[in-house]
Structure 1
Amino acid sequence: MNRRHCASAAITLVCALAVLTAPVQAMAAPIPEPAPSATASAAPGKKTLEQVREEIDTLYRKAGAATDAYNLAEEESKKQSAEIVKLTKAIADGQARIAELKDRAGAQAREQYRNGGLPPGAQLVLSGDPDLFMDGINQARQGQQATKGMLTELEQAQEDLETYTQDASLNWKKVEASRVKQAKAKKSINAQIKAAEKLESELAEEERARLLKMEQDAASTAQAAWLSSGALKDINREASAAGRKALAFATAQIGKPYVWGAEGPASYDCSGLTSQAWAAAKNPIPRTSQEQWRQLPHIPIQDMRPGDLIIYHSDASHVGMYVGDGSIVHAPRPGRQVTLTGAGSMQILGVVRPDK
């Protein structure tokens, strides 16, 4: 072992000791990503297997973040489209109301025409009957009030129709903007996944087996460090009634493939799994991991219970559901299936509770 490798091993040992002896805070700090290993060697100019693993992980992380952007844009499109449907009905109703008011105005005009369009004074001169004249005055006043009310209603209906039309136009613009976001995110997702798959395909079968073993070892090391840090005070808390239902749904999906943008029933992405699990518990939550982190109540890690959601990475691009005993159920990434893994095997950003 040369001096560089000796120094690297010493640094790794010091870092590991620092993690194990660090004091525990009330809200446990995010767990760092596993440090790169120096065990894999390569010829000059060729990447080590550890470097390949890190590059693949980075690509899938970027694909995960882009998937969250895609899912959010898709949700926005759905909401705006639903609003457009409502506004379209309101526009149709407004147009029908305006047509009705115009018909009524036309009927009044025709009635006045049949009466010769004469003012009450002229009708008195022509009729010579005071009682008939007074009846005419009362009818004229009622007609004027009705006409005034109808014109006011017509004006309001026209203003409402204009507002509905403007809102519908604005919502169409939002839908189009969301579609543009979706297209960009989709392009990014496919590019990242394709690049990661290319890196893996270039490895020999023996190297791919070693790569998988390295992934598992890194996850186990991170989980062991997390548990030994004391971040989790009680690993066997009771789930709420809704939490048990959500957890039963999530664990029933184990073995199904990860597909980005999917929310069941045959496949899931990470937030598709958690959002559908809580929907099954009759407690709808936001669709994406970033919105789950932004909108749901935050819980100290040491207080989490089964059914709570653990948000991962500094950009909140991944989420899993805590099942107890220090583990989560999650949809990891393309090429993997819904599975159980250590809750501390990835960098924890924090915990949220859907049913607090």
Structure 2
Amino acid sequence: MGKRRKPSPPSRARLAVVTTAMAGSAVLAAAGTARAEPAPTLDSVKEQVDRLNEEAEQSIERYNGFQEKQQRLQGEANRIQEKVARGQEAMNQLRTQLGAIAAEQYRNGGIDPSVRLMLDSDPSGYLAKASARNQVIDSQAALLRQARDEQRKLDQDRAEATATLARLDAAGTALAGEKRQIQDKLAKAQALLDKLGAADRAKVNAQEAAARASRAGNRAEPPAYTGPATGRAATIVRFAYAQLGKPYVWGATGPAGFDCSGLTGAAYRAADVKLPRVSQDQWNAGRRIARSDLQPGDLVFFYSDLHHVGLYIGDGKMIHAPRTGKNVEVLPIDAMPYVGAVRP
């Protein structure tokens, strides 16, 4: 039986052919995978963008709440620090007086004042001087008590200032974090729009151009309110009508732009009524109104967490500031998940 011959190793030329073929297959496979990922449709992008904008609006109302808290705490901190400064000035004056007393005692060599009075060259004046001495002692004791009380109040005020400044820092940190979340959600929404195909991008651009034209037209001459409301309600609704076409700007309370609670708050300010800054707090700013009893000027709220609010104008419609990229508009209240209404 003859020996088997070992197969000869493949030549370099053959290896090159095989390697090239494998590389080509990998490229084709990758290309096939790339072709397997279609561009997102306009409807799917719109759904995701709407969701991100709704989440952003939730963050915006939290941002507004943190901002309001920060402003309140800043006012408190300023007031307490002014109080601390006044207390410190009073303490400095008391210390000056106490220092003068200590210096006088040092100059007198520490001899008991009663002994000095007794050694006086005018014995007839002893009783008068003794009385004066008692008055001085009483005055010094009162001064020491005053200094002790002032120091205690100063220490309390400083502790309060420290605690308030700590809360102010925490509110600032929360405000910055909420701002980052808003910017992140809006950036994601824009990135989704950027992934659209050419035809869909053209549709979106056309819609945005139409919105800009509408905004410019509405800002030039907003429609006047001609409804049945009178008195305070008419003032509120007329103000809202005058804002139609102005852009939604998150965190804004006017006059150039508004977010949802910024618009309702500004409308009520026009009628000398102050509303809380945040939509959830505006929900508690008046009495609940049944849908069947809605009147122009009532606040209407949407979504289970009350993160959106508008101003009822009658006929089942409201004026509201919708979201980033849109303008103040008239919309049926059924266009969003309606929760309830409040009349401040």
Tell me the TM-score normalized by structure 1.
Answer: 0.72
Map of 1:173 onto structure 2? 166
State the shift of 1:115 in Å.
5.7
> Partner of 1:105 in structure 2?
98
Q: Percent identity?
A: 34
How far apart in 2 are the matches of 1:125 and 1:143?
Answer: 17
For residue 341 of structure 2, what is the amino acid of its counterpart? Answer: V
Equivalent pair of 1:237/1:305 in contact (CA under 8 Å): no
SS at match of 2:247: coil
Query: In the alignment, which residue of structure 2 is the partner of 1:162?
Result: 155
CA distance in 1, matches of 2:321, 2:63: 17
Q: Write the letter of the residue equivalent to 2:340.
A: G
* Contact residue 258 and residue 332 of structure 1 kept, 8 A: yes
Change (3 A) 1:143 1:294: same
Q: Comparing both chains, which one has the higher relative contact order based on Cα–Cα distances under 8 Å and sequence gaps of 6 or more?
A: 1
Aligned equivalent of 1:122? 115
CA apart distance, 1:79: 0.9
Aligned equivalents of 1:203, 1:269: Cα separation in 2? 31
Structure 1 position 319, deviation (Å): 0.7
Match of 1:233 in 2: none
Q: Cα deviations across residues 112-162 of structure 1 (Å, max 9, x unaligned)?
A: 456665435413431264542222222222222222222222112112211
Q: Check conservation: 2:114, 2:130, Cα contact below 8 A.
A: no
CA RMSD of aligned residues (A): 2.9
Asked if structure 1 preserves the Cα contact closer than 8 Å seen for 2:261 and 2:308, the reply is: yes
How many positions carry a matched residue from both structures? 289
Matched, 1:146 2:136: no
Which sits farther off after the overlay, 113-122 or 56-65? 113-122
Q: Does 1:265 align with 2:255?
A: yes
The whole-number CA distance in structure 2 between the counterparts of 1:267 and 1:97 is 48
Shift of the 208–344 alpha-carbon distance from structure 1 to 2, 3 Å rule, reads farther
Q: What residue in structure 2 maps to residue 53 of structure 1?
A: 46
Alpha-carbon distance in structure 1 between the residues aligned to 2:205 and 2:339:
26
Q: Deviations over 1:211-267 (max 9, x none)?
A: 999xxxxxxxxxxxxxxxxxxxxxx8745x333323222221111111111121211
**Does structure 2 retain, via aligned residues, the 8 Å contact 1:123–1:133?**
no
Give, in angstroms, the shift of residue 198 of structure 1.
Answer: 3.0
2:63 to 70, 92, 96: 70
Q: Is the 8 A contact 2:118 2:126 kept in 1?
A: no
Deviation for aligned residue 1:189: 1.2
Residue 318 (str. 1) matches residue 308 (str. 2) = yes
- Give per-residue Cα distances to partners, 1:9-58, cap 9 Å, x unaligned: xxxxxxxxxxxxxxxxxxxxxxxxxxxxxxxxxx9988665544332221
After superposition, the Cα gap between the structure-2 partners of 1:303 and 1:131, relative to the gap in structure 1 and judged at 3 Å, is farther
Partner SS state of residue 310, structure 1: strand
Report what 1:308 is aligned to: 298
Gap runs ≥5 in structure 2: 1-35, 208-226
Q: Where does 1:174-253 land on structure 2 (aligned, <5 Å)? A: 174-201=167-194, 202=196, 205=199, 238=229, 241-253=231-243
Query: Is contact 2:39–2:197 with CA below 8 Å preserved after alignment?
Result: no
1:272 to 1:205, Cα distance in 2 relative to 1, 3 A = farther
The amino acid of 2:172's aligned partner reads R
C-alpha change, 1:140 and 1:246, in structure 2 (3 Å) is farther
Is the 2:321–2:328 Cα contact (8 Å) retained in structure 1? yes
Q: Is the 8 A contact 1:273 1:331 kept in 2?
A: yes
* Closer, same or farther: CA 67–123 of 1 in aligned 2, 3 Å: same
The normalised TM-score by structure 2 is 0.75
SS in 2 for 1:344: helix
Question: Partner amino acid for 1:139?
Answer: A
The residue that corresponds to 2:13 in the other structure is none
* Alignment CA distance shift 1:168-1:194 (3 Å): same
For 1:137, the equivalent position in structure 2 comes to 130
